[in-house]
């Protein structure tokens, strides 16, 4: 009997603090776990040493007969205290250091949503600040619990058990790669769909599949645009034409105007010779006035067609910004020319006025006066003409 006891003592394993060993779970209590590691008594793993994250009950993370890798934290003749957390951490820090050095992506499920960010278990407790979760602002992270994220190590200090991770770093790198591919694929002349991201005083930045291109204010519309906000809104989806691409500087010039039908393309169907329309005097020159009769369409009123009286310069009777009635004398859409007349339009207006007067007096015929008595002067004038 004494020989057997001596033999058992001889076979008992000897451990030191810092050793890493394997054992089988023999008993699970709420606050601790007992493990057979070949020592004369079962080793004890406190619930706080089962995971790098908070654990309420040991049974939440281990079960009877589980094989565990453990780290020796305390050893006496009658007691062996072990840590699963330390064993995992020792291996995890080595692995994380390699990932950090190589810029590798690691995956981990979100274990907790805490103030300021998210917590994951990667063998050690890792923290993802709110600003490093997504490329955009997130107001509520409650849906992220249990979600597996792709992460990069951005900061680590093993001595302080500090590990900062970022999903945004992964997303940013992927976006940069995507941007390079898009810049290679975009060619001048391409017409693509874009979304207005930002409006400025000088134009609009439009996202074309991950790359922001600039639509200069002069390329927004055929007509003059005072402010991009007058015709565009952020989030608006539209067609744009690629004018130029510089992959090195990642600059893309775009045009909305080039995708729209030019104002002169509609001129032939919109204006007919003889039409009288309202226009705005845009420019005065020595030989006449340019009058805008549609957005981006200006016609010339020759100085001889401005007034019935002789004038030396258009400025004598017109000013820029003035609204005038003009009559279409000629239309040439191919050459982008329209000839207009203010004088002829005024003649038409005068004739119409006289006709209306005639119509009004004609209705009074029942009064006993003859038609000739009422409109004799007007008829005489028409005959003289």
CATH for 155: 2.40.50.140
- Token pair recorded at residue 174: 């992927």
How many of the other CB atoms lie within 10 Å of CB of 144? Answer: 19
Q: What is the pLDDT of residues 65-85, one digit of tens each?
A: 999 989 899 988 888 999 898
Indicate whether 3 belongs to any domain: no
Cα 355 to Cα 312: distance, rounded to the nearest angstrom: 33
Mean pLDDT of 32-36: 94
Residue 5 pLDDT class (50, 70, 90 cuts): very low
pLDDT attached to residue 10 = 42
Question: Domain tally for the chain?
Answer: 4
How many of the other CB atoms lie within 10 Å of CB of 37? Answer: 19
Cα 23 to Cα 376: distance, rounded to the nearest angstrom: 126
Mean pLDDT of 10-25: 80
Q: For 186, what's the count of Cα atoms within 13 Å in the CB-facing half-sphere?
A: 31
pLDDT attached to residue 359 = 55
Cβ 213 vs Cβ 247: under 8 Å:
no
Cα 374 to Cα 309: distance, rounded to the nearest angstrom: 31
Q: What is the pLDDT of residues 328-368, one digit of tens each?
A: 999 988 888 999 999 999 875 555 555 455 455 555 554 54
Domain boundary among 86, 116, 144: 86
Q: Is 318 exposed, middle or buried (0-12, 13-18, 19+ CB in 10 A)?
A: buried
Q: Are residues 159 and 139 in the same domain?
A: yes
Q: Are residues 276 and 342 in the same domain?
A: yes
Q: C-alpha distances in angstroms, 187 versus 184, 190, 241?
A: 8, 6, 10
pLDDT attached to residue 209 = 86
More confident residue, 16 or 148: 148
Mean pLDDT of 129-155: 95
Indicate whether 2 belongs to any domain: no
Q: How far apart are the first and last CA of the chain?
A: 149
Q: Are residues 284 and 378 in the same domain?
A: yes
pLDDT attached to residue 208 = 94
Residue 54 pLDDT class (50, 70, 90 cuts): confident
Mean pLDDT of 243-268: 88
Residue 8 pLDDT class (50, 70, 90 cuts): very low
Q: For 371, what's the count of Cα atoms within 13 Å in the CB-facing half-sphere?
A: 5
Q: Are residues 268 and 253 in the same domain?
A: no
Q: Are residues 110 and 77 in the same domain?
A: no
pLDDT above 90 for 13 = no
pLDDT attached to residue 88 = 85
Nearest-CA neighbor of 260 among 282, 238, 293? 238
Cβ 83 vs Cβ 45: under 8 Å:
yes
Indicate whether 214 belongs to any domain: yes
More confident residue, 385 or 131: 131
Q: Are residues 267 and 345 in the same domain?
A: yes
pLDDT attached to residue 363 = 55
Q: What is the pLDDT of residues 76-119, one digit of tens each?
A: 888 899 989 888 888 899 999 999 999 999 999 999 999 999 99
- Token pair recorded at residue 302: 């020759």
Domain boundary among 210, 234, 259: 259
Q: C-alpha distances in angstroms, 236 versus 155, 203, 232, 240?
A: 39, 14, 7, 12
Indicate whether 8 belongs to any domain: no
Domain boundary among 34, 59, 86: 86
Indicate whether 154 belongs to any domain: yes
Residue 291 pLDDT class (50, 70, 90 cuts): very high
More confident residue, 36 or 379: 36
Indicate whether 98 belongs to any domain: no
Would you give the DSSP letter of residue 261? Answer: P
Q: Are residues 158 and 210 in the same domain?
A: no
pLDDT attached to residue 95 = 92
Q: Are residues 269 and 343 in the same domain?
A: yes
Cα 295 to Cα 170: distance, rounded to the nearest angstrom: 48
pLDDT above 50 for 6 = no
Mean pLDDT of the chain: 86
pLDDT attached to residue 364 = 56
pLDDT attached to residue 51 = 84
How many of the other CB atoms lie within 10 Å of CB of 61? Answer: 16
Q: What is the pLDDT of residues 211-252, one digit of tens each?
A: 999 999 999 998 889 999 999 999 999 999 999 999 888 899
Cβ 44 vs Cβ 31: under 8 Å:
no
Q: Are residues 192 and 292 in the same domain?
A: no
Q: Are residues 385 and 280 in the same domain?
A: yes
Residue 376 pLDDT class (50, 70, 90 cuts): low
Q: Are residues 20 and 137 in the same domain?
A: no
Mean pLDDT of 377-383: 48
Cα 123 to Cα 100: distance, rounded to the nearest angstrom: 15
Q: What is the pLDDT of residues 150-160, one digit of tens each?
A: 999 999 999 89
More confident residue, 124 or 352: 124
pLDDT attached to residue 9 = 44
Domain boundaries, position 250: 188-259
Nearby residues of 192 by Cβ (< 8 Å), 6 or more positions away: 186, 208, 209, 239, 240, 242
Indicate whether 92 belongs to any domain: no
Q: Are residues 284 and 369 in the same domain?
A: yes
Indicate whether 120 belongs to any domain: yes
Q: Is 252 exposed, middle or buried (0-12, 13-18, 19+ CB in 10 A)?
A: buried
More confident residue, 6 or 281: 281
- Token pair recorded at residue 160: 């302080």
Cα 116 to Cα 127: distance, rounded to the nearest angstrom: 9
Cα 193 to Cα 205: distance, rounded to the nearest angstrom: 13
């Amino acid at each position: 009997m004494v020989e057997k006891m001596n033999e058992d003592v001889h076979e008992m394993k000897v451990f030191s603090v810092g050793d890493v060993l394997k054992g089988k779970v023999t008993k699970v209590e709420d606050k601790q776990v007992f493990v057979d590691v070949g020592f004369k008594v079962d080793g004890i793993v406190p619930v706080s040493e089962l995971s790098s994250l908070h654990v309420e009950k040991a049974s939440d993370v281990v079960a009877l007969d589980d094989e565990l890798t453990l780290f020796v934290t305390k050893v006496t003749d009658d007691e062996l205290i072990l840590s699963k957390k330390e064993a995992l951490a020792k291996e995890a820090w080595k692995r994380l250091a390699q990932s950090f050095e190589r810029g590798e992506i690691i995956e981990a499920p979100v274990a907790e949503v805490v103030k300021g960010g998210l917590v994951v278990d990667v063998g050690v407790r890792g923290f993802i600040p709110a600003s490093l979760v997504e490329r955009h602002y997130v107001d509520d992270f409650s849906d992220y619990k249990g979600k597996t994220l792709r992460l990069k190590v951005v900061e680590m200090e093993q001595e302080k058990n500090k590990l900062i991770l970022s999903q945004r770093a992964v997303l940013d790198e992927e976006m940069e790669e995507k941007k390079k591919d898009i810049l290679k694929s975009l060619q001048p002349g391409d017409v693509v769909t874009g979304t207005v991201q930002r409006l400025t005083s000088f134009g609009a930045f439009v996202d074309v599949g991950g790359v922001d291109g600039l639509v200069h204010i002069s390329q927004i519309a055929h007509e003059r645009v005072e402010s991009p906000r007058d015709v565009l809104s952020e989030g608006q989806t539209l067609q744009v034409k690629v004018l130029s691409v510089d992959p090195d500087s990642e600059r893309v010039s775009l045009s909305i105007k080039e995708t729209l039908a030019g104002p002169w393309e509609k001129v032939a169907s919109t204006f007919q010779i003889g039409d009288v329309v309202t226009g705005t005097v845009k420019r005065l020159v020595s030989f006449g006035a340019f009058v805008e009769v549609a957005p981006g369409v200006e016609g010339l009123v020759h100085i001889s067609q401005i007034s019935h009286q002789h004038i030396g310069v258009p400025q004598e009777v017109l000013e820029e910004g003035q609204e005038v009635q003009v009559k279409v004398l000629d239309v040439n859409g191919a050459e982008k020319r329209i000839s207009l007349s203010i004088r002829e339009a005024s003649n038409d207006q005068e004739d119409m006025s006289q006709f209306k007067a005639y119509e009004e007096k004609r209705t009074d015929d029942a009064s006993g006066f003859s038609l000739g008595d009422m409109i004799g002067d007007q008829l005489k004038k028409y005959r003289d003409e």
